[in-house]
Each structure stands twice: as C-alpha cells, then as structure tokens.
Amino acid sequence: MGRIKPSEHERDRMLSDDELRIVWQAAERVPGPFGHYVRFLLLTATRRDEAANMTHDEISSGDWIVPADRMKGKREHIVPLSPASKAIIDGMPQLGRYVFTIAGKTPMTGFTKFKAKLDAAVLAALRKQHPEAEPLPNWRLHDLRRTARSLMSRAGINTDIAERCLGHVIRGVRGIYDRHAYYDEKKHAFEALAALVERIVNPPAHNVVPMRKELLG
C-alpha cells in the first residue's frame, strides 16, 4: 500500500475563539453578500454549496428546508433558523430567488476571490494588533462547519442531536428505526450555538485580550 499524501488526511482544523472573533468581525468589511454568507455558514453548520444555493422558497415558517439533492446524505434536511441566522437572511436584499447572490440570476460564486478579500481583511485586523502578524494559517470555509460542531458540544448539546443538526445520517439500528425528527432539540441546539458565538465575538470589554504575537505567525 502506498503512503497517504498529507492532503488526503482528514482535516481537523477548527478556529479558536480569537480566530473566530477576527473572522466574524472582518466579514463585515467584505463587500457584497460574502461576509453575511460566512457568518451564516457558521450559524447553520452547513456546507459551502448547501448554503450558497439556498433559495427564498426553501424558507418556511422560520425553517430552512434543504432539499435532499443538495445534501451529501441525500435526505431532506430541516434547519430551524436561530434568530441570528434568520436576521442574516432578512437583511439580504432580495435580488431574485437566491438568498446569497451577486446579481440575482445565479447563486453566489467566486469563492476563491471573496475568500482572498476576507483573508486580507482578517490580516489587516491582525496587523492592527501586531504589525508583523501573519495570515491565519491553513483555514478554509469548511472549517467553520467543524468549528460549529465543536461549539455545539461546548454548549452542552447531545452528540446525536449535534450530528443531526449537521445533517449527518445516523448509522446502525438507531438510524434505521429512529425516525423522530428531533425538531425541538435541533432548534435548541442552533439557538445555543448562536448564543455561544455571540459570547465569543462580542465578549464584555474586560474579557477581551489581544491575540498573543506567537499565535499570529
């Protein structure tokens, strides 16, 4: 058997609280829908294309119903929107059927370009703290999903419920026989995630400590 390339190893990158705060705040300075989209990815723990292709008609009574053909597990996924994630949607201009769109006719694209702009805003914020700071190392949009999952555990959310919030298929006997929707539990989980994110990105002033220089590269 050949050696596994480093790029083929499963990623385990998560954003620390300091990194998450910087990214969240820098997202405000990215023009267009991308900054709002980045925040939405974190608050809903969804994959890049699941959120990028979201349409207004997928939203019903405060829920986002992701169709099965856009889910990796090929099952419809219901995301009870927290007030924070719903506020992002409500604040987006309605230019067409897609929520996150540049011109209204197609879903948002150009992730590499917009991610570069976000990284530049992040680096500018870091260099206000330390002039020689380096960019955040090796982070991708999908790391927000992993970060959200970890934050759910930190908020005390049951493992099974957190996995269902991510749209993961529960394997084994439980997945076959337990068809309960767990809607209320998922709603609580997403609200707990949003509350924890809020505490991280907007902590009391006396709790904010600049990132140590050794953490900035």
In degrees, to the nearest 5, what angle opens at C-alpha 199 toward C-alphas 132 and 23?
35
Give pLDDT, residue 1: 35
C-alpha to C-alpha distance for 146 and 200, rounded to whole angstroms:
16
Which whole-number Å values give the CA distances from 115 to 20, 38, 87, 142, 157, in the listed order? 15, 9, 22, 12, 30
Is 213 a domain residue? no
Question: What would the pLDDT profile of 114-158 be if each residue is shown by its tens digit?
Answer: 999 999 999 999 999 899 999 999 999 999 999 999 999 999 999
State how many domains the chain has. 1
Is 132 a domain residue? yes
CATH of the domain at 153: 1.10.443.10
Is 3 a domain residue? no
Is 155 a domain residue? yes
Given a cut of 60, whether residue 215 has pLDDT beyond it is no
Give pLDDT, residue 73: 85
Is 216 a domain residue? no
Give pLDDT, residue 104: 87
| Nearest residue to 20 via CA among 136, 162, 152 | 136
Average pLDDT over residues 178-189: 84
Is 136 a domain residue? yes
Question: What would the pLDDT profile of 21-43 be if each residue is shown by its tens digit?
Answer: 999 999 988 988 999 999 999 99
Instruction: For the chain, give the number of residues.
Output: 217
Is 2 a domain residue? no
pTM greater than the 0.75 cutoff: yes
Regarding predicted confidence, which is higher, 177 or 109? 109
Give pLDDT, residue 206: 63
Give pLDDT, residue 205: 73
Is 153 a domain residue? yes
Q: Which residue range(s) make up the domain with 160?
A: 12-201
DSSP state of 11: P
